Structure 1
Amino acid sequence: MKNRTIHHLSHIDLDGYSCQLVMHYTPYKKLNYNANYGAEVKQKLDMILENIQKAKESAYILITDLNLTADESKWLTHQVKKLNENNYNIQLQLLDHHGSGEDSANKYDWYYLDTTRCATKITYDFAKEHYEFDEPTWMQKYVDVVNAVDLWKQEEKENFEYGKVCMRLVTETRELGRVMFAEEDFKYKLSLLHEAAKMIHIPDAPIALDEKIHFLKKDFFKKEKNNTLDNLATKYIVELLGRQRAEKTIYYKGYRGYLSYGVGNTSIIGNGFLLAYPEYDFIVDVSSRGTMSLRANNQVSVSQISKEWAGGGGHPNAAGGRIQGFKEQFRYDKVKEQIERLINEKESRAGDLDYKKEEE
């Protein structure tokens, strides 16, 4: 295990992230991925396999709190076998508790299923048995909390009540987009769960954590001066956007744009980005449903861009529309491929872009 990188894919709820919190206390190199059910699972598994091939190193694929369909299990088994036949050294392990995975569990030895424990508890017990594991003092209690709320054991009142607050800590942590800022969003959620775990033994822990959530969030984003959570998060996101300029820049008819995905709050974040990086003419944020929100700062008419791209409209500095036929993606590179195809198509058809400010 010491010479392998663990590629850990887990669910996006409290149980899923808590599996990764458990694995945080193993000494191995880890890359973390998260997915909800459906098409996202396959896309993230594709990403894992691509990353393994790029790195050309031994790997351990760990999947927790996600049950794979029979087709997904068959496909993944085939892909790993094919890579291993080409001199890769990949080991596969799934730890889950959803009964819908029974068929796969009966067929594949890498698919471990136990419906009596949540995935966090399965991962915790598995780690103690099979991995080097530097367990903190609060870990067992925290695992019991997750187990109580995930299996809805209301009779375990103390653990159940604290688990409900921890569950909300994850579901209401939406300041960062999971696709656009996957690594930072993961760190954000794990930092909050770490803080929750440290408070687990204090008196009236559920109430104390409930009252502290807002301050824990602010502490993550705060660097120097205090401010509102919205302003702190906006500054943090604008800085993230800036650091990713090389990958996320697009061009349309000679104008430089920035493509974001699922960030939202474009009026504040978009305008903040354009003020921080005036070399950009516009920014466009696309949602999972294909709706787009564009902002400019008097350098180009985004109303005209929106009209040409999607038959949309608005004002010269603020416009929107919806891209017909947009396919929801869970990887930024796939989003950019779609938008660049759209741009190439529109550039080949449309006339010259009138960048002058239009009459409102």
Structure 2
Amino acid sequence: MKIYHLSHTDLDGYGAQVITNFYFNNVKFSNSNYGREIDEKFNQIVSDLDDEKSIILITDLNLTMAQCADFSQKLEGKNAKIFLFDHHQSGAECASAFEWYFLDSSRCATKITHDFFAAMFKENEELKKFSDIVNAVDIWLKDDKNFEMGKVCLGLVANAKEINKIMFERENTLYQFHLLKHAAEFFNEKNDYIGLDMQIHAIKKEFFKLNKDDTLSNLISNYVVNLLSENKEKFSINYNEFRGILTYNIGNTSVIGNDFLVANPEFDFFIDITNKKTMSFRANGKVDVSAMAKHLVGGGGHVNASGGMFANFKDGFSYEAIKTQVVELINKKTQEAL
């Protein structure tokens, strides 16, 4: 049996997935904000379905009536069942119309998920504590003893932006699980939320540390460069006779771009595009990226470091959709130059 778990991108969203990950093996996790991204993520799940029995669990995402009807229709004839656990009162209409839509505004999605699986299988005391902490902050129980710990965990997840979930969704999920697993070490009798707050830097470093210790910034850069190198064929693009790599919202472009090009000398340039339509170009002496930036988007800068704005770029929720736009831009501009 296959299990797909689509959830929100905050503490409650990842918290619900922590619960599922405890009770089941080989779950395929994905995360979404509200709006069109939910539809795209659900469509990705549906496209992955085959004849094997599957369960689709959606947590901490408030759907519209149109989305519920669409999701139900797309699963007709599929060997799959859908369940949704949510606590947003705005989902009341959907909950009354669709039997698979479970709504309980008195508990956060993490606690709903925990209580459901704990009743079905066996309750785990540490997991129950975790769900109570998430619940305290997510539904804002200021007088609850777990509230301050919940606030620290809330910030822990919200500020965990080191791995881009569009490019590396699996690794981003593993990172969030790592942070919350180590946060649980402070869920003691002392309720040591101050201790957790002080150790966040070290907890992050532990995830990114591969061989030797370094600054967090250098460890992150090395980790991301390794991921890019392992998946370089997927991210590869071409500009005339030059070969490059395209990233999305990768962050720290100068360091990561240079480190990647040094580690992968068969590549000539590095481009990062952001949700704000900006493009950063980097090279290592093999191509003039100031000329490339000018040609493609009217930008410019230096031979090895330039930038510009892709005015017609439409932000997306899948890397493939983002890459397609850049490849089409390159093809159009290079054809015009012939």
Sort the TM-score into its range (normalised by shorter chain): over 0.9
The answer to whether the 8 A contact 1:5-1:28 is kept is: no
Q: Which residue of 1 aligns with 2:113?
A: 123
Distance 1:146 1:204, change over 3 A: closer
Q: Which residue of 1 aligns with 2:65?
A: 70
The answer to whether the 8 A contact 1:138-1:198 is kept is: no
Separation in 2 of the partners of 1:136 and 1:219? 26
Q: 1:38 aligns with which of 11, 35, 40?
A: 35
Helix, strand or coil at the partner of 1:43: helix
Q: Which residue of 2 aligns with 1:151?
A: 139
Separation in 2 of the partners of 1:23 and 1:34? 14
CA deviation string 1:66-111 (max 9, x = no partner): 0111111111111011xx2xxx311110000011111111111011
When the two structures are aligned, how many residues end up with a matched partner?
338
The answer to whether the 8 A contact 2:296-2:330 is kept is: yes
Q: Which residue of 2 aligns with 1:15?
A: 12
Q: 2:178 aligns with which of 180, 191, 195?
A: 191
CA deviation string 1:167-206 (max 9, x = no partner): 1110111111111111111100111101111320152511
CA deviation string 1:257-285 (max 9, x = no partner): 10111102110100010011011000101
Superposed displacement of residue 20, structure 1:
0.4
Alignment of 1:65-214 (within 5 A): 65-81=60-76, 84=77, 88-130=78-120, 132-133=121-122, 135-156=123-144, 158-214=145-201
Superposed displacement of residue 251, structure 1:
0.7
Superposed displacement of residue 350, structure 1:
2.0
Alignment of 1:296-315 (within 5 A): 296-315=283-302
Helix, strand or coil at the partner of 2:22: coil
Helix, strand or coil at the partner of 1:298: coil
Q: Which residue of 2 aligns with 1:355?
A: none
Helix, strand or coil at the partner of 1:154: coil
Superposed displacement of residue 31, structure 1:
0.1
Gaps in structure 2 of 5+ consecutive residues: none
Q: Which residue of 2 aligns with 1:6?
A: 3
Q: Which residue of 2 aligns with 1:331?
A: 318
Superposed displacement of residue 236, structure 1:
0.4
Cα RMSD for the two superposed structures: 1.2
Separation in 1 of the partners of 2:295 and 2:281? 13
The one-letter code sitting in structure 2 at the alignment partner of 1:141 is K
Separation in 2 of the partners of 1:46 and 1:314? 40
Helix, strand or coil at the partner of 1:46: helix
The one-letter code sitting in structure 2 at the alignment partner of 1:317 is N
Helix, strand or coil at the partner of 1:91: strand
The answer to whether the 8 A contact 1:139-1:197 is kept is: no
Superposed displacement of residue 149, structure 1:
0.4
Separation in 2 of the partners of 1:29 and 1:298? 44
The answer to whether the 8 A contact 2:285-2:304 is kept is: yes
Structure 1 position 318 matched with structure 2 position 305: yes
Superposed displacement of residue 141, structure 1:
1.2
Structure 1 position 59 matched with structure 2 position 47: no
Separation in 1 of the partners of 2:52 and 2:225? 34
Structure 1 position 232 matched with structure 2 position 219: yes
Separation in 2 of the partners of 1:234 and 1:201? 34
Separation in 2 of the partners of 1:27 and 1:100? 30
- Larger RCO: 1 or 2 (CA < 8 Å, sep 6+): 1
Separation in 1 of the partners of 2:228 and 2:25? 30
TM-score by length of 2: 0.97
CA deviation string 1:225-264 (max 9, x = no partner): 1110000010000000000111110111121010111102
Superposed displacement of residue 45, structure 1:
0.8
Aligned-pair identity in percent equals: 43
After superposing on structure 2, the runs of 4+ consecutive aligned residues of structure 1 that deviate more than 3 Å are none
The answer to whether the 8 A contact 2:149-2:191 is kept is: no
CA deviation string 1:138-158 (max 9, x = no partner): 1111111111100110011x3
Gaps in structure 1 of 5+ consecutive residues: 352-360
The answer to whether the 8 A contact 1:93-1:112 is kept is: yes
Separation in 2 of the partners of 1:139 and 1:198? 12
Superposed displacement of residue 137, structure 1:
3.2
Helix, strand or coil at the partner of 2:58: strand
The answer to whether the 8 A contact 2:59-2:84 is kept is: yes
